[in-house]
A = this chain, B = another copy of it.
Amino acid sequence: MRFSNLVIETSKTAPSDAIIISHVLLVRAGFIKRVANGIYTLGMPALKMASKIENIIRQEMDRLDGQEVKFPVVMPKELWEMSGRYYSIGREMARFKDRADHDMVLGMTHEEAAVHFAMNTISSYQKLPFMIYQIQTKFRDEPRSRGGLIRVREFTMKDAYSFHMTQEDLEKYYYKQLEAYNNIFRRIGMNNFIYVQSDSGMMGGKIAHEFMAVTPDGEDELVICSHCDYKANEEVAECQTDTFDNTNDTPCEEVFTGEAKTIEEVCQRLNIEATNTIKAVAYANKETGEPIMVFIRGDLEVNESKLCKVVRAEIIPLESTENPAISFGNIGPLANLPVKTIIYDRSIENRAGMVVGANKPEYHIINFKVGRDINIEHFHDVAKVKQGQRCVKCGHELTIQNGIEIGNIFQLGTKYTQSMGMTVLNENGESINPIMGCYGIGVGRAIASIIQNSHDANGMILPISVAPWTIHICPVRIDNEEVRKLSFDIYDQLQKKGIDTLIDDRDMSPGVKFADADLLGMPIRLVVSPKLIANNEIEIKIRKTGEVVIVKIDELYLKLDSIIQNLMEEYK
Interface assignment of A401: CB less than 8 Å from any CB of chain B: no
Q: Chain B residues near A1 (CB, 8 Å)?
A: 67
A96 to B98, CA, bound (A): 10
A8 to B122, CA, bound (A): 8
A7 touches B70 (CB 8 A): no
Q: Chain B residues near A156 (CB, 8 Å)?
A: 70
Interface assignment of A551: CB less than 8 Å from any CB of chain B: no
As a 0/1 sequence over residues 103 to 125 of chain A, the CB contacts with chain B under 8 angstroms (1 = contact) are: 01010000001001110011100
As a 0/1 sequence over residues 335 to 369 of chain A, the CB contacts with chain B under 8 angstroms (1 = contact) are: 00000000000000000000000000000000000
B73 touches A7 (CB 8 A): no
A41 touches B122 (CB 8 A): no
Q: Chain B residues near A50 (CB, 8 Å)?
A: 70
B7 touches A72 (CB 8 A): no
B44 touches A69 (CB 8 A): yes
A73 touches B121 (CB 8 A): no
A72 touches B121 (CB 8 A): no
* Complex interface residues of chain A between 119 and 165 (CB less than 8 A to chain B): 121-123, 126-127, 130, 132, 136-137, 139, 141, 143, 153-154, 156
- Interface centre among A71, A95, A113, A118, by most chain B C-beta atoms within 10 angstroms, is A71
Q: Chain B residues near A116 (CB, 8 Å)?
A: 33, 35, 41
Q: Chain B residues near A76 (CB, 8 Å)?
A: 35-36, 39
A113 to B35, CA, bound (A): 8
Identical chains bound together, number: 2
A96 to B50, CA, bound (A): 28
Q: Chain B residues near A41 (CB, 8 Å)?
A: 69-72, 113, 116-117
Q: Chain B residues near A73 (CB, 8 Å)?
A: 73, 137, 139, 154
B130 touches A74 (CB 8 A): no
A72 touches B39 (CB 8 A): yes
Interface assignment of A482: CB less than 8 Å from any CB of chain B: no
Interface assignment of A5: CB less than 8 Å from any CB of chain B: yes
How many residues from A make CB contacts under 8 Å with B? 64
- Interface centre among A40, A46, A118, A127, by most chain B C-beta atoms within 10 angstroms, is A127
Q: Chain B residues near A121 (CB, 8 Å)?
A: 7-9, 30, 33
With both chains docked as a complex, state the minimum distance between the C-beta of A6 and any C-beta of chain B, in angstroms.
7
Interface assignment of A99: CB less than 8 Å from any CB of chain B: yes
B70 touches A47 (CB 8 A): yes
As a 0/1 sequence over residues 1 to 30 of chain A, the CB contacts with chain B under 8 angstroms (1 = contact) are: 100111111000000000000000000001
Contact of A7 among B39, B94, B95, B122 (CB under 8 A): B122
B118 touches A7 (CB 8 A): yes
With both chains docked as a complex, state the minimum distance between the C-beta of A111 and any C-beta of chain B, in angstroms.
13
Interface assignment of A91: CB less than 8 Å from any CB of chain B: yes
A447 to B153, CA, bound (A): 31
B139 touches A137 (CB 8 A): no
A4 touches B143 (CB 8 A): no
- Interface centre among A74, A106, A126, by most chain B C-beta atoms within 10 angstroms, is A74
With both chains docked as a complex, state the minimum distance between the C-beta of A438 and any C-beta of chain B, in angstroms.
15
| Chain B residue nearest to A76 in the complex (CB) | B36
Contact of A99 among B69, B71, B141 (CB under 8 A): B141
As a 0/1 sequence over residues 57 to 75 of chain A, the CB contacts with chain B under 8 angstroms (1 = contact) are: 0000000010111111111
A99 touches B95 (CB 8 A): no
Interface assignment of A48: CB less than 8 Å from any CB of chain B: yes
A73 to B137, CA, bound (A): 8
Q: Chain B residues near A141 (CB, 8 Å)?
A: 98-99
Interface assignment of A300: CB less than 8 Å from any CB of chain B: no
Given known contacts A36-B75, A106-B74, A136-B137, A143 and B99 CB-to-CB distance under 8 angstroms: yes
A91 to B46, CA, bound (A): 33
A154 touches B35 (CB 8 A): no
Q: Chain B residues near A143 (CB, 8 Å)?
A: 99
Interface assignment of A79: CB less than 8 Å from any CB of chain B: yes
B74 touches A7 (CB 8 A): no
Interface assignment of A490: CB less than 8 Å from any CB of chain B: no
B7 touches A127 (CB 8 A): yes
Q: Chain B residues near A91 (CB, 8 Å)?
A: 99
B99 touches A96 (CB 8 A): no
A204 to B41, CA, bound (A): 24
A251 to B196, CA, bound (A): 97
B130 touches A7 (CB 8 A): yes
With A39-B76, A41-B70 already in contact, 7 other A-B pairs whose C-beta atoms are closer than 8 Å: A40-B72, A41-B116, A44-B69, A74-B153, A98-B141, A99-B141, A99-B143
- Going nearest first, the 3 A-B pairs with the smallest beta carbon separation are A96-B96, A91-B99, A44-B67
